[in-house]
Structure 1
Amino acid sequence: MRRILLVVLAVTLVLAGCTEKPGEKGGDGKRPAEANGIPTSAGTHKQKMDVGTFGHREFLLHVPSKVSGGDWEDGKPADPPALVIALHGGLATMGKMQDLTGFDKLSDEHGFLVAYPDGFMTTWNAGDCCGAAKVGNIDDVGFLTKLIDKITGAGLADPKRVYVTGFSNGAGMAYRMACEKPDKVAAIGVVEGALVTHCDPGRPVSAMIFHGTADGSVPFNGGGHRDFNDRRPFPPVSKAVDFWRKVAGLPAPTERVKALGDTTSCESTGKGDQGVAVTFCKIQGGTHQWPDEAAPMLWNFFSSHPRNGT
């Protein structure tokens, strides 16, 4: 009996020595449980991030199974995927943006990461808009830059394939990121938003812009009020289209692009010498809402526009 107990004890010790500890490599022998404190398992993970101010900022990170179960080297994906950052509209949240867009399904199909950050009191400081974030002069550019650096610095995403998209106030924030951090952003996707910030980028950024002709909140031809305390009108969407193509030295968009929605028509400038393009999608009769076709069309655009150079 004593001999049997000794054998059982010896086997138990051997198995205990083989058991993984938190933070060690996963079951495939290559994938760690975390990278730079970020979970690598498939699914959506709620994360908190210190931004050097009182409190913290939060974001959701959706990791597709293709990344979490793919080839890893030295605790990082051997071929880092793209990262899409999706910014919610005013008076919304990161969870609502996740539900609204359908990016999770595309992420799982194509193997890219999606981050859904939370704005400050449901708003983003997009320049002249909007709400609490603007009034409080919140450094949302700094927050999103740290978010990008955290994920790409962990080796979980390709720094040359970081894309920022947004809806309404979040779309305005996407513009601001391209204006102030063009070295971090390969392309932006703007849905029912306006360029309402000083913009002098040091390099061109690819842009895909969706806007409905019947948008009553951010009017297609300009108008309305930029914010509750700023009665200046929004500029027309054509101003932003012209701005980004001129930065890249591109012609007016005339090349027809296949659209998924029956009421959506898209035209592109085509790629210029720097691989940059601007595509404008007009939604006939479209109101202030996220179109069903936006996410798949944006991913098709993003995937063909990595950032060139350093």
Structure 2
Amino acid sequence: MKYILLFAVLLLPTLSFAQNCEGQTACRLGNRSYHVKLPDNWDGTTPLPVLLHFHGWQRTGALPVQHQRISGHTRRRGVLLIAPNGINKTWDFWQGRSVDVDFAAAVIEDAATRYPIDRSRIYISGYSYGSAMAWRYACENGDNIAALLAISGTLRQTENCPQQPGEVRHVHGLADNVLDFPFGADRDTGNAVALWRALFRCADSTETTEWNARDFLTFSRTSWTECADGTAVILDTHPGGHFIPHGWIGWQLDQLMGRTPQYP
């Protein structure tokens, strides 16, 4: 009998963990839901950095958790991927006080009841309409966000943002014909992040470099690092169109977490 009892006690943590939702099985939160993807070889106790990623238009959170350019990078870096589901497969980001900001904040809190998370390393990301939603979240609930990692989607650069993340990283194709690159006067590429540069009170001085995670796609990086309170704005552009670039998310996570960037 004592061995049966001992086995039951040892099994309890495993059973509790197994009841957590993951992957294609959505986590329920009221009348809405979200998906998660755990990192490889997680020990079950170490607090996890978080990447909350908003899916693109007419997609769901089930896609990011199996997407090699998203979860393929988070799971190799010890990062918990959280992918909320938008109402009618889209997001409410056009105007301020979005209900989806409240929902995404509640998703993070709900995930924290299921997994231990590292509050100092919560990153917000998104692609296309999801990128614009990530901007909206950072704009309205960014004070506790370490960084915004946005891909091919922005808000109006004249938005009034009551909050802001610790850092902004945005990537956008110059030939994007779905959500056009937001050039400024005389095709100024820096206009794409003018909102954050103004909020962070960044100096005009910049550093422009080139880098790539894969040989077939080179990024031109412009960095504004002389900003208030140690914040920074980084803009990566490429000559392509509307897509999630190979290696981009992993490269940013590596740099943000103080690691040597690598692919994948």
Specify the TM-score bucket, using the shorter chain as the normaliser.
0.7 to 0.9
User: How far does residue 247 in structure 1 lie from its aligned partner after superposition?
Assistant: 1.2
Match of residue 287, structure 1, among 221, 237, 241: 241
Q: For the residues of structure 2 that align with 1:65 and 1:260, how far apart are their CA atoms?
A: 21
Q: CA deviation at 1:219?
A: 1.1
Cα deviation, 1:124-164, whole Å, max 9, x if unaligned, reads: 11125xxxxx9xx9711011000112233556111121111
Give the conservation status (yes or no) of the 8 Å contact 1:211–1:237: no
Whether 1:259 and 2:239 are equivalent positions in the alignment is: no
Match of 2:88 in 1: 121
State the match for 1:112 in structure 2: 79
The question of whether the paired residues in 2 share the 8 Å contact of 1:91 and 1:123 is answered with: yes
Give the equivalent residue in structure 2 for 1:226. Answer: none
1:139 to 95, 99, 102: 99
Determine the C-alpha separation between the residues in 1 that align with 2:90 and 2:55: 8
| TM-score, normalised with respect to structure 2 | 0.82
174-183 vs 286-295, greater mean Cα deviation: 286-295
Among candidates 53, 70, 80, match of residue 86 of structure 1: 53
Does residue 205 of the first structure (1) align with residue 166 of the second (2)?
A: yes
Q: Distance in 2 between matches of 1:201 and 1:221?
A: 22
Match of 1:60, as an amino acid? H
Aligned to 1:48: 27
**Alignment match, 2:199:** 247
Percent identity over paired residues: 23
Cα distance in 2 between the residues matched to 1:192 and 1:264? 14
Relative to structure 1, is the Cα distance of residues 201 and 66 closer, same or farther in structure 2, using a 3 angstrom cutoff? farther
2:202 and 2:228 in contact (8 A); partners too = no
Query: Equivalents in 1 of 2:68, 2:127: separation in Å?
Result: 9
1:184 to 141, 144, 151: 144
Q: In structure 1, what is the Cα distance between the partners aligned to 2:226 and 2:111? A: 28
Amino acid at match of 2:27: K
> Equivalent of 1:95, from 62, 69, 93?
62
Aligned-CA RMSD value: 3.1
Give the secondary structure class of the aligned counterpart of 2:148: strand
- Amino acid in structure 1 at the alignment position of 2:23: T
Aligned equivalents of 1:237, 1:173: Cα separation in 2? 21
Question: Which among 179, 182, 189 is matched to residue 218 of structure 1?
Answer: 179
Extract unaligned runs of 5+ from structure 1: 1-12, 27-31, 129-133, 224-235, 306-310
Which has the larger Rg?
A: 1
Contact preservation (8 Å) 1:259, 1:266 = no
Structure 2 unmatched ranges of 5 or more: 260-264
The aligned amino acid for 1:98 is: V
Q: Which amino acid aligns with 1:266?
A: R
TM-score under structure 1 normalisation? 0.71
Is 1:25–2:13 an aligned residue pair? yes
Deviates more, 1:212-221 or 1:152-161: 152-161
Shift of the alpha carbon at 1:222?
Answer: 5.7
Distance 1:169 1:203, change over 3 A: closer
Cα shift readout 1:62-106 (whole Å, capped 9, x = no counterpart):
112443x25x3xxxx3xx121001111101121222343533332
Q: Whole-Å Cα distance in 2 between the matches of residues 301 and 217 of structure 1?
A: 29
* AA matched with 2:196: W
Deviation, 1:221, is 3.7
Matched residues, number: 252
